[in-house]
Structures are given as structure tokens and as C-alpha cells.
Structure 1
Amino acid sequence: MTLPDILTRAPVIPVLVVDDVAHAVPLGRALVAGGLPVLEVTLRTPVALDCIRAMSGIEGAIVGAGTVLNRQMRRAAAEAGAKFVVSPGLIEGEGPDGPAPLLPGVATATELMAGLAAGFTHFKLFPANIVGGVDALKAYQSPFQQAKFCPTGGVGAKNAAEYLALPNVICVGGSWVAPADAVRAGDWDRITALAREAAALAPRAPAPVEG
């Protein structure tokens, strides 16, 4: 499965910080039930790899790893079952192909040019709300027409649609669909409802050209 295949499955990729392995499967099932099959489990907790292993068995789920900072973490995530990996930046010496497809983060035009030179075409704009957000992506559209983005960082229910309306945005990433208090309380119905709302944010098709 290629990275574009994965990123086009749903308009929103949940960015998950899971502290308890017991929450992993019900959380994943709740999100998939709401229409968000692509799940990014960040490697920010000691149980993250175990959560990826557990969630990889969920029917319909495509589980990846986030906060991947180096080659070793990329390999470990792939061995745990991650179908893709996400990094907050470019990883020196790492290209698009490897143990699992890599979505690297960029914050500047210089980093974007370095990523394109390394063979990447899909990028995570991070942290989107700090590095220019929608305006930055509009500015990148003309000089970097081959680049597609998944903005993450400060993206939520109130502004996700604005990002998704941009032609160079393929999806967005965010944590709002799995609030920490809902996960702790096991309120899976609430998470499914939030996921359903996010899944409905699919960008509108361009208007047909007349004549």
C-alpha cells in the first residue's frame, strides 16, 4: 500500500497518544466505526509499539506510527506492524521507501526543497498553526506544484475544512477526534461521533468547467 493510497482513505488522520494498551483496540474500533480508518499512534509513550501491534488486528484499520525521529524508530515501528510512519521533520539519510512509507514533516520552503530532492512528494506541514497554516500552503501551491500536504498542529474541528479546501492538501492530522478525557473514561461512543463528524469533512469536488 502506497502512502498516497493511505492518505486518501479519509480526510482526517487521528493523531493518538495512548498511555494504556487496554485502550488501544476499543479506541481504534471507535475511530474506524466513525469512518476514520487511518490511525497514527505517536511513539510518545512506553506502550506505543504494543498499541500498534494490538490495533493492527482491527478489521478495516490502517495503523501507522507518529513521532518517528530516526531510522531505528522507523524500523521498530514497521516491525510492530505500522503500515506508514510520520516524522515531525526530515530524517537524515531516509527516503520515501523503506520498512514503511514515510511522511516527513516540513516547516519551511528550504526543508520542502530538501524533501523534494530526496524523492518525497507528500509532506506533513508541522506545526501548521505556527508556520503559516493555510496561507503558507497557498503560497507553496505555485512553486511546489508536485507537493501534497497533511497539515498537523493546531488543526481542529473549526478549521479543518479550510485546510481541506486547498488543492494541495490531501488530508489533515489532529487529536481532537480522540480527546484524552474521553479515552480515559472509555467513552467510545463519543469518539465514534467525533470521528463521524470528521469523516464528513471530505473536501468538495471542484465545480465543473462550463463550455
Structure 2
Amino acid sequence: MSAKNEKLLSTLKLQPVVPVLIIEDAESAVPLAKALVAGGLKAIEITLRTDAALEAVRRVAAEVEGAVVGAGTILNPAHFDAAVKAGSQFIVSPGTTRELIHAARGSDIPLLPGAATASEVMQLREEGYQILKFFPAEQAGGAAYLKSLSSPLAGTMFCPTGGISLKNAKDYLSLPNIVCVGGSWVAPKEMVVAGDWAGITKLAAEAAALAG
């Protein structure tokens, strides 16, 4: 396994659930990240879906002890470069393009590229990727689909994201080819807006306990 694959695997193995965050206000980023870390979720994905996202990554990277912050919804090399400059320690994409693979090849920061079909997985394996994001997980076939890939595509590990909740996370985590799952349920928008950091820490702790 390459050094970047090893680095990514060690990050994703920190916990069973990686929070997938859409942050509207950068001011909430640090207390939100601290609440998640306090609950046992150290690796955090902040998606580049808002104007506040890069500033949120910067603040969490600089101010939250114990957090391993990554950037998600990376669609092109410009996104990749901006996220790395902001302090992202891993990069997540919903799918993959040649341009994005090329950008990742020239960086020390590991990419978790998205795939939804066996062909996409095979193409990424040829590029040296052993850990992939499976997205959108529930809509693309769910745990049953990933289970069916475990034998013919042995050696590839997945972090499924999309439609996953506390109710179905164990269906995925019980599979041999799953390293963790991504989920937004640990930081509901209404709790973030209300500043209910204790409530989010409780949700994070419930998610972290799925490892058992």
C-alpha cells in the first residue's frame, strides 16, 4: 500500500463515522468541530458547498486540537488546490475525473475519490487507489451492492456516504470491505444553528460507539 493510501486509511480508521458537514457560517466551524471531537469523531469532512467552507476548513485546521479536517465535494483541480492551501489533511470527491486524479498525483495530501460502479472502481484501482468513497451509497445499491463487490474486487476498501443514518450504518460497517461511513446526521442543521454543541457531542458519541 502506498504512503498516501496508508495515510488516508489511518485517518479513516480513527472512527466508524466521518461527519459530512455543510457549514453556512464559518463562526460555527470551531465550536462544531470541538463538539464532534469531544464525542470521539476526530476526522471531519467539510464540504465545499458554501461560501464559508474554505474559511471553516482554515479555522478548524488552525484552532481545533485533535481534529483531522478534510474537504469534500471537490470537483476539480482548483477546488483541490484551494482546499489544500486552507489546511485540508484529506480530500474527498463525489466522483472522479482525469484532471482531479492528475492534481492529486502531484500532492502529498491523500484523495478519497468517489465511485459508484465496478468499472469506476477498476479504473481507480489501476491508478493505485485502494480506498474509495462509494456515493451515493443508498441510491447506488446500498450495503447489498457493496457486499457483492467484496469478492471480485477484494483489496478495495470503501467509505460509503449518502443516505446513511444511525439506523442503517451497522449494515455497512459489518461488511469486510468497509473502513467507515460518512454521515451528516451527527450534526443536524437545526442543532448547529441553535448552538447545541452538547447535543452534537452526544450524537457524535453514539456514532463513535458503532465501532463496538
**Which residue in the other structure is 1:208 paired with?**
none
Structure 2, unpaired ranges of 5+: none
The counterpart of 1:73, out of the listed 56, 75, 79, is 79
Tell me by how many angstroms 1:91 deviates: 2.6
Q: Residues 15-51 of structure 1: CA distance to partner in whole angstroms, max 9, x if unpaired?
A: 0000001100000000000000000000000010000
The counterpart of 1:63, out of the listed 66, 69, 88, is 69
TM (norm. structure 1) is 0.94
Tell me by how many angstroms 1:99 deviates: 4.6
The runs of 4+ residues in structure 1 deviating greater than 3 Å are none
CA distance in 1, matches of 2:17, 2:88: 18
**The 10-residue stretch of structure 1 (111-120 or 28-37) with the greater mean CA deviation from structure 2:** 111-120
The CA RMSD over aligned residues, in Å, is: 1.2
The residue type paired with residue 147 of structure 1 is: T
**Which residue in the other structure is 1:25 paired with?**
30
2:91 pairs with 1:85? yes
2:53 pairs with 1:48? yes
**Counterparts in 2 of 1:1-211, with a 5 A limit?**
2-56=7-61, 57-93=63-99, 94=101, 97=105, 98-202=107-211
Q: Residues 39-71 of structure 1: CA distance to partner in whole angstroms, max 9, x if unpaired?
A: 000000001000000011200000000000011
Q: Residues 74-130 of structure 1: CA distance to partner in whole angstroms, max 9, x if unpaired?
A: 111010000001000013141664252100111111111111111100001000001
Structure 1, unpaired ranges of 5+: 205-211
Contact 1:63–1:83 (8 Å) recurs in 2: yes
Contact 1:91–1:104 (8 Å) recurs in 2: no
**Between structures 1 and 2, the one with greater helix share:** 2
Question: SS of the counterpart of 2:98?
Answer: coil
Contact 1:75–1:99 (8 Å) recurs in 2: no
TM (norm. structure 2) is 0.93
